[in-house]
Structures are given as structure tokens and as C-alpha cells.
Amino acid sequence: NTEEPWRPFNRSRVYMADLESTLHYSLRVELASQTQIKGEVLIALKKYISVLAKYFPGRPVVMNLLQSINSWLQNQTANEISYVAFKEKLDNSSQAPDTALPEGVRWVGCQGSKPHFRRYPCGVWTLFHVLTVQAKKAGGSDAKEVLSSMRGYIHHFFGCRPCAEHFENMAQESLAEVTTLSTAVLWLWSRHNRVNNRLAGDLSEDPNFPKIQWPSPEICPACHTVKDNGEHRWNHEQVLSFLLSHFSSNNILSDYLE
Ligand code: FAD
């Protein structure tokens, strides 16, 4: 919708409106393209919802919804569910008091200068960066829990098929190297930068949001070092602490929520 008014935002913050918009789009639009969900696809959905119920740093109403969907889904013993049954559960749960996922999208930090730029794919990256950081803070025992659920989600549900293929290649190549919750945070950051590198200057790039090696020296000077020969190096320790603070719940703003 080109008539939507521009929502001013701060590029050094994360917006709950983007995260909730991503959940809405993922659960009500993207999943809806599968009539029957079974086998590996059902396993991927269960893992995705379980990770959301565990780590999404949402408002209480949204957490109530995710937890209610999660317990319903984990209790499904059949090898197959229909999207209609899933959607019914989503809608019925929303009728319970203090349980809801707002309808519709309201992009803020993921707004594009034109309707075909940014939005949902930006939301997906943001969501999974947030989840890897939340998992690190929660200190769980499975280092790959969030990334495996992301891998399954992207592989089976993400509408951009070339994106899914690229991501699956990266996962096959190096996801096994992830052995700690910190390396999981850094793995996703570095793969996202690879994608940025590949897409810089591409037609899909929003001219107002150029694809850079992120975070820029402006927002994280300490993340960057220059060797004697002038070669750029990331300071991984500083990058990790930047990511842990940038994607922490303290840095998430509730502006523009309904
Ligand atoms: P995005 O790249 O979506 O980033 C969103 C926000 O995250 C940025 O604004 C910034 O604040 C932050 N950010 C940027 N870089 C990093 C980083 N390294 N670490 C942490 N945070 C960061 N498009 C294609 O055309 N081809 C593809 O193969 C492709 N593969 C994709 C694979 C996945 C898994 C996903 C989720 C998306 C993929 N896309 C692909 C879409 C593309 O990566 C962008 O999401 C899209 O072009 C919108 O770009 P954007 O400017 O909103 O920034």
C-alpha cells in the first residue's frame, strides 16, 4: 500500500511492530500456502513454534497465544494436520482473554521506500537474530536449537525459493561448526553479511537502505579493526557484545503497536 504514511524510526533500535508483523505474515500468510502439513514439514513447524514459545520476547498477550498454539501443536499425535485446523486454533485462541496476535502488518524498522522493498524478509532476519540472542541469554543446552528451527522454517515455508536454496547451502556447509550459543549468534550474523555482500547493488536493494557489511563503523566503531597492511578485520568479541545488546529485549521499542 503506497498510501501508508512513513513511520519515522531509529536505525539503532529494533521494533516489536516488525516482529509481530513477521509473526502475522508467517503464521497467517506464508503457512497458509500449505493445505496439509505432514512428515518433515510438520516437524519443522513444531520446532519453529516451540522456539517462538520459548524465546520470543513478546508482549504477554502474544506469548499467551504462542504458548497455547505450542501446547496444542505438540499434542498432535497424527502424522498430518491441515492448515485449516492450525488456523482455527490460531483464531480460537485469540478469543481467549489476554491472548492475541494482532492481524495485519505494520512495518517500522523494516519499511521500504517502495512497497516491493524490505518488509517481510527484513522481518525474518530480525526475528531470528532476536531469537539467537534470547536463546544465548536464556543459556539453554542446545547450541543449534534456534538455527535448526530457522533452517527448517526457511527450507519448508519461506516463500522466496532462491533465498531458501542459498540459505540451505550455507547451513549444509557450516552449521555443524556451531557448538555454543555465542557462535550461533555470530554464525547468523556472518551468513547475513554474506547475503548482504551478494545482494549489494542488486535490483532488490532499496536505495535508501544499501546492503552494507553490518554493523557499520558509525553504529559500532569497536567492531572494526584495521591491520597494519590496511586490511579490514572484524573484532568478533566486540561484534558479539554489540549483537547481544542490539537484539536484546531492552533495545526493542513498542512504538506503533496497536
Ligand atoms: P536485511 O538484509 O533484510 O536486514 C534487515 C536488518 O537487519 C537491516 O536493516 C539491519 O538493521 C540488520 N542487519 C543487516 N545485516 C545484518 C547482519 N549481518 N547481522 C545482523 N543484523 C543485520 N534476497 C535475495 O534477493 N536473494 C537471496 O538469496 C536472499 N536470501 C535470503 C535468505 C534469508 C534467510 C532471508 C531471511 C532473506 C533473504 N533474502 C534474499 C532477502 C534479503 O536478504 C533481504 O532481507 C531483503 O533484500 C531486504 O533487505 P533489507 O534492506 O531490509 O535488509
Residues paired with 234 in a beta bridge: 224
Sorting pLDDT into bands at 50, 70 and 90, what band is 243?
very high
209 lines ligand 1 (CB under 6 A): yes
195 lines ligand 1 (CB under 6 A): yes
Q: Which atom of ligand 1 is closest in space to residue 112's alpha carbon? A: 52
Q: What is the pLDDT of residue 258?
A: 80
Q: What element of type H or E holds 36?
A: strand 36-38
pLDDT of 1 over the 70 cut:
no
Portion of the chain with pLDDT greater than 90, in percent:
93
Q: What element of type H or E holds 226?
A: strand 224-226
| Nearest Cα residue to atom 20 of ligand 1 | 189
Count of Cβ atoms closer than 10 Å to residue 153 Cβ: 25
Burial 164-196 (b: 16+ CB within 10 A, else e): bebbeebbeeebeebeebbbbbbbbbbbbbebb
Sorting pLDDT into bands at 50, 70 and 90, what band is 213?
very high
Q: What element of type H or E holds 163?
A: helix 161-174
Pairing relation of β-strands 14-15 and 252-253?
parallel
Q: What is the pLDDT of residue 69?
A: 96
pLDDT of 17 over the 70 cut:
yes
| Nearest Cα residue to atom 19 of ligand 1 | 189
Tell me which DSSP letter residue 29 carries: I
Average pLDDT value for residue range 55-78: 96
207 lines ligand 1 (CB under 6 A): no
Sorting pLDDT into bands at 50, 70 and 90, what band is 2?
low
Question: In 51-154, where do the E strands start and end?
Answer: 80-82
Q: Which CATH superfamily is domain 14-252 in?
A: ERV/ALR sulfhydryl oxidase domain (1.20.120.310)
The torsion angles phi and psi of 207, rounded to 5 degrees, stand at -55, -25
> For the segment 89-103, what is each residue's pLDDT rounded down to a tens digit?
999 887 888 999 999
Interval between CA 143 and ligand 1 midpoint (Å)? 23
Pairing relation of β-strands 224-226 and 232-234?
antiparallel
Q: Which of 55-69, 83-97, 228-242 has the lowest mean pLDDT?
A: 83-97
Probe target for ligand 1 pocket from 118, 125, 155, 218, with the most ligand atoms within 8 Å of CB = 125
Average pLDDT value for residue range 202-229: 95
Interface predicted TM-score (ipTM)? 0.99
pLDDT of 3 over the 80 cut:
no
pLDDT of 83 over the 60 cut:
yes
- Global pTM reads 0.97
